[in-house]
Amino acid sequence: MNILLTNDDGINAIGIRDLAKELSKIGKVTVVAPDRERSASGHSITLHAPLRVVRTDIHEGIEGYMISGTPSDCVKIALESILTEKPDLVVSGINNGPNLGTDVLYSGTVSAAIEGAIHNIKSIAISVSYGEDKINYEGAKHFSCNLIEIISTLEDGLIFNINVPSLNKEDIKGTIITELGIRRYNNKYIKREDPMGKSYYWLAGELIDIENKNTSDIKAIEDKYISITPLHFDLTDYKSLETLKNSKIEI
Ligand SMILES: Nc1nc2c(ncn2[C@@H]2O[C@H](COP(=O)(O)O)[C@@H](O)[C@H]2O)c(=O)[nH]1
């Protein structure tokens, strides 16, 4: 199995390097990832600047390419200009932090997987939630290969958003197929001054506590389960489509 592996925390992040080593047990892994932190870059791509590609070794026998672009740039340039054959899977992660609910709309991690699906390649985003102290990748590392092998038997073009609790494998209760929940933030912009006396703003913000359905990805993680949410890049609201078709919006 040929696997294209990317992320949005950057090619030197612990999550992608651990995952590359795990995935090399089940397939040929090629890492094409950003040269720096690209969190919350969404599905942005680089149109008005060149993309630099630097060959770099990840682990013994795992090719790596460092890209001066976004996660979606990495998938696109890998498919168009770096890989010699179409991969069987695009995997993005392991992300340092969760991508739950409406987070996925901002997430570079998830967008890289969506980019793979746009090219009709089975794609998986893997993220680890925050723990009490530092993030624990053990559970995600242990279960990734197993989950990916199962998913690899499914039809092409599907997208799976996987969130893993920040726990050791024995503390994870199982897996649940979920729907996206709702995450809201009270986005505070911290205003400061730079050394030249010019003001600048820095987005911070913390999560607002929202009651989510028991079937949501957010609830699954709270209950120490691995959440698997199927996604699609077709954003058409089919429920409103029929209503609009029967309405009189004419000019
Ligand atoms: N302060 C805010 N953070 C947000 C908001 N929406 C999403 N997010 C965070 O960004 C990451 C993006 O994911 P990544 O895969 O690109 O690292 C997401 O997981 C959230 O934690 C927001 O409105 N405000």
pLDDT (tens digit per residue) in 199-217: 999 999 888 988 889 999 9
9 marked ligand binding residue: yes
Query: What average pLDDT does range 79-83 have in this prediction?
Result: 97
Predicted pLDDT at 210: 86
- Mean pLDDT value across residues 72-90: 97
Distance from the alpha carbon of residue 98 to the mean position of ligand 1, in angstroms: 8
* Residue to probe by mutation, ligand 1, list 74, 96, 103, most atoms within 8 Å of CB: 103
d(CA 56, CA 123): 24
Domain ranges of the chain: 2-182+213-247
CA dist 19 and 244 (Å) reads 45
**CA dihedral sign of residues 114, 119, 122, 124:** negative
C-alpha 229/C-alpha 74 separation (Å) is 23
User: Distance between CA atoms of 185 and 236, rounded to whole angstroms?
Assistant: 25
CB 70 within 8 A of CB 110: no
What is this structure's pTM? 0.94
Q: How confident is the model at residue 247 (pLDDT cuts 50, 70, 90)?
A: confident
Task: Tell me the torsion sign for CA atoms 144, 137, 108, 37.
Answer: negative
> What is the reported pLDDT for 132?
78
* Fold of the CATH domain 2-182+213-247: Stationary-phase Survival Protein Sure Homolog; Chain: A, (3.40.1210)
Q: End-to-end distance of the chain based on CA atoms, in angstroms?
A: 53
Residue 56 CA from chain centroid, whole number = 22
In the predicted model, what is the mean pLDDT of residues 48-63? 93
Q: Which two tokens stand for residue 207?
A: 């999560």
Q: What is the mean pLDDT of residues 6-12?
A: 97
| Cα–Cα distance for residue pair 66/12, rounded to 1 Å | 9
Task: Answer whether 99 contacts ligand 1 (Cβ < 6 A).
Answer: yes
71 lines ligand 1 (CB under 6 A): no
**pLDDT value, residue 156:** 87
Q: In this structure, how many other beta carbons lie within 10 angstroms of the beta carbon of residue 231?
A: 17
User: H helices then E strands: how many in the chain?
Assistant: 6, 13
- Percent of the chain clearing pLDDT 90 (strictly above): 84
Query: Is 39 annotated among the ligand-binding residues?
Result: yes
User: For residue 127, what pLDDT band results from cuts at 50, 70 and 90?
Assistant: very high
ipTM, 2 dp: 0.90
Q: How confident is the model at residue 7 (pLDDT cuts 50, 70, 90)?
A: very high
Sign of the alpha-carbon dihedral angle for 174, 31, 26, 137: negative
Instruction: Flag whether 95 is marked binding.
Output: yes
| Residue 251, pLDDT score | 83
Q: How confident is the model over 136-158, as a mean pLDDT? A: 91
**Of 112, 143, 155, which is closest to residue 227 (Cα–Cα)?**
143
CA distance 169 to 174: 9
Where do the DSSP E strands lie in the chain?
2-6, 28-34, 53-59, 62-67, 89-96, 122-128, 159-164, 174-177, 184-186, 189-193, 199-203, 206-208, 225-231
187 CA distance to ligand 1 centroid (A)? 11
Task: Report how far ligand 1's centroid is from the alpha carbon of 147 (Å).
Answer: 24
pLDDT on residue 205: 85
- Give Dmax (Cα) for the chain: 64
Q: Whose CA is nearest to atom 8 of ligand 1?
A: 103
Report whether 113 contacts 161 (CB < 8 A).
Answer: yes
Query: Atom 7 in ligand 1: which residue has the minimum CA distance?
Result: 103
